[in-house]
Structure 1
Amino acid sequence: MTKEIIDKIRGMARRVTVKDIKDDGETQTASIEVADGVWRTDVEVLQQYGISSSAPEDGALGIALALGGDEGDIVLLPIANPSSRMGGLGKGDVGFYTKGGDRVVGRASGGIEIVAASSISLKVGDVSFMVTPDGVAIVGGTFTHDGKNIGKDHGHVSAPPGVSGPPV
């Protein structure tokens, strides 16, 4: 084999430093350092269907593939950032996390753990449910328990003065 062929094979897959991640188009792109001081820009970042992320750039790393050995056709596998990684998962656990400390963990033993740094928000149609350190807020829709309206416009069964009966 010639040195040119060996270099081409060696250059097909490499660990790269990642900067300038852009997530504003149909595909995410980034700039990568393929060799000391040699950068490629607007390299497509492949992401698996249904899961998207935009890694923090401080310490972002990736594996770049030069398809068919063509340095003009480089793609980047999903980006890692070891300095921001969530650890401490048990065997079989699955986690999603952010740099800010938010996380959702599906436990192999069953159950889902959700931890949020500042709030959890759910929205379905015109109904929103928000949990913050100040409490819980529900806006829109009705609020029922066992089929009974316990929202803002429910009534109560008559009871002795000062005691409220159950919702009607």
Structure 2
Amino acid sequence: MIVNVACNDNAFLIEALKEQNLIDYKGVVFDVDFPEYEIKLYKGRENWFYEIYDMGQLRECIVPKDVPKDVATNMVVLLDSRRMIKELDCDDKYRHCVMGCEDRPDFSECIEDCNKWDRICRDAEKDFESAYESAREHLGSNRIHFIGCILGEQAESPDIDWICAFRW
């Protein structure tokens, strides 16, 4: 069986469903000690809705409700942890931060701030890597494997940004 998880780089659908009271808030299912990051779960009639809050940006993922909640949650955690590991890119961000300090009169303070942010970034990177591995192991123990993601347009679903498939 193939399970498709639909993900959007915004949370317009969840926002609309919340306004119409068509989904029920179930709570935070995942968070990381990283500035402003958490995943909230909402229960709909036919789907699980995951709202991902990442430093002021909202994303959403939708999983069919015939997938058990713990499995659906692990699918979303795996997908978003994978995404966050790529986006964090601590080395590149640190390099840019330090380069930005070169001509500043408060060079030492600036470098100190870069070092502080780098520690936060590295800790978050470890947390996301750990979450990714844990979700992957949980899914693997249920014989569920991540296949990959394609753009919604490629799947003839232009209202969806990404469709990610899992083999169960």
Q: Per the shorter chain, which TM-score range? A: under 0.3
Say which structure is richer in helix: 2
> Which structure would you say has the larger RCO, counting Cα contacts within 8 Å and 6 or more residues apart?
2
Say which structure is richer in strand: 1
| Bigger Cα Rg | 1
Q: What TM-score comes out, normalization by structure 2 length? A: 0.25
Q: What TM-score comes out, normalization by structure 1 length? A: 0.25
